């Protein structure tokens, strides 16, 4: 097989080493006589895989001890609902940085569960992230939601807004690409299929105090505390996705971790931006220089 250059945002390319190792181990896990994907999620073998993946995620991003690492299902899309369902009590408000189509969706779902509003709106154009002072958080706000990388727009947040409330981040398309200032966040989530592994799992990092203060009048699957207290094994987890995420995170660690990933992303994105900027206007990147994404480089052509 000759591998193609796959620029898809997600599901996206995975390290060939990870795919090969998965293939080699797929039919029999260790000497168990069965595949990991056929095995009980309560088995010692699976529980070790599960715990290692969570530990690698924590280690990769230097996640503080007072944050839970959760593997959930439903994609980042379910987090658009779970975040406000859990964090907003009656009367609470929540600000959203509306930076593109993903933030729009997050805000639309939040409005169903609470008094969510646009703390900054990048319409029309969605060609940049806000400068820190531009975000207007209103009284009574529980959190400010940001989309750290707008996948379709190709814009990335480099200055975390300094507001008086904790941040909640949708980091689906730039998780594990740079270190994070955890003291600013109450919760970070990311669907796996872009920077972590195959589709099917969603990684959530949530501050214990935020989980403890969350609503409990929700169905079990929708409660962060249920998942934390059962180490993401309340129900059957997406075992294949978590298994391959663990392999991918080991690959990230062995190549220098997220700091090395950021250096590599700058190098690779730089090649593409240089080609765009050096094309005498044939290719055009519509994003403000300070908000250009290192993950998704978008460009326009002279005509449709």
Active site residues: 102, 170, 194
| Nearest Cα residue to 187 out of 206, 215, 160 | 206
Closest CB 173 distance from ligand PMP, rounded Å: 4
238 binds ligand PMP (CB under 6 A): no
Calculated CA dihedral for residues 58, 183, 90, 201, nearest 10 degrees: -20
| Residue 258 to residue 266: CA distance in whole angstroms | 12
Residues 142-201 that bind ligand PMP (CB under 6 A): 147, 151, 170, 172-173, 191
Q: With respect to ligand PMP, which residue has the nearer C-beta, 29 or 196?
A: 196
**Which of 71, 96, 102, 113: binder of ligand PMP (CB under 6 A)?**
102
Closest CB 113 distance from ligand PMP, rounded Å: 17
Closest CB 130 distance from ligand PMP, rounded Å: 16
| Residue 256 to residue 40: CA distance in whole angstroms | 33
Task: Give 99's contacts (C-beta < 8 A, 6+ positions apart).
Answer: 120, 122, 126, 129, 130, 146, 147, 150, 153, 155, 157
Closest CB 110 distance from ligand PMP, rounded Å: 13
What sign does the CA torsion over 289, 291, 293, 299 have? negative
Residues 37-96 that bind ligand PMP (CB under 6 A): 75-77
By rule CB under 6 A, what string of x and - marks binding of each residue 4-23 to ligand PMP? ------x-------------
What sign does the CA torsion over 69, 75, 76, 81 have? negative
Instruction: State the DSSP H helix or E strand holding residue 250, giving kind and residue range, or none if neither.
Output: helix 239-254
Q: With respect to ligand PMP, which residue has the nearer C-beta, 63 or 82?
A: 82
Q: With respect to ligand PMP, which residue has the nearer C-beta, 13 or 32?
A: 13
Closest CB 84 distance from ligand PMP, rounded Å: 15
Q: With respect to ligand PMP, which residue has the nearer C-beta, 214 or 241?
A: 241
Q: With respect to ligand PMP, which residue has the nearer C-beta, 10 or 237?
A: 10
Paired with 51 in beta bridges are none
Percentages helix, strand, coil for the chain, rounded to the nearest 5? 40, 15, 45
* Angstrom distances, CA of residue 196 to CA of 26, 50, 94, 129, 212: 19, 14, 28, 24, 27
**What is the contact surface with ligand PMP in residues (CB under 6 A)?**
10, 75-77, 102, 147, 151, 170, 172-173, 191
């Amino acid at each position: 097989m000759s591998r193609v250059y796959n620029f898809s945002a997600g599901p996206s390319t995975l390290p060939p080493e990870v795919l090969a190792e998965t293939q080699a181990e797929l039919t029999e896990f260790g000497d168990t006589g069965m595949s990991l994907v056929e095995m009980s999620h309560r088995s010692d073998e699976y529980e070790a895989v599960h715990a290692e993946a969570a530990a690698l995620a924590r280690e990769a991003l230097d996640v503080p001890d007072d944050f839970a690492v959760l593997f959930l299902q439903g994609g980042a899309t379910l987090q658009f609902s779970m975040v406000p369902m859990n964090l907003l009590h009656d009367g609470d408000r929540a600000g959203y940085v509306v930076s593109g189509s993903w933030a729009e969706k997050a805000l639309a779902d939040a409005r169903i569960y609470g008094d969510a509003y646009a703390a900054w709106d990048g319409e029309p154009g969605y060609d940049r992230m806000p400068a820190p002072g531009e975000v207007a958080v209103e009284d009574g706000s529980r959190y400010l939601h940001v989309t750290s990388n707008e996948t379709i727009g190709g814009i990335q947040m480099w200055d975390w807004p300094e507001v008086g409330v904790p941040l909640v981040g949708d980091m689906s398309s730039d998780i594990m690409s740079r270190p994070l200032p955890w003291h600013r966040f109450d919760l970070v989530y990311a669907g796996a299929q872009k920077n972590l592994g195959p589709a099917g799992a969603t990684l959530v990092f949530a501050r214990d105090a935020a989980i403890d203060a969350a609503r409990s009048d929700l169905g079990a699957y929708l409660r962060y505390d249920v998942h934390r207290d059962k180490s993401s094994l309340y129900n059957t987890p997406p075992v294949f996705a978590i298994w391959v995420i663990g392999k991918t995170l080991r690959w990230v660690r062995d190549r220098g971790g997220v700091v090395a990933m950021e250096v590599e992303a700058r190098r690779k994105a730089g090649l593409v931006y240089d080609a765009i900027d050096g094309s005498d206007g044939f290719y055009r990147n519509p994003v403000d220089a300070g908000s250009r994404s290192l993950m998704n480089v978008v460009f326009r052509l002279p005509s449709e």
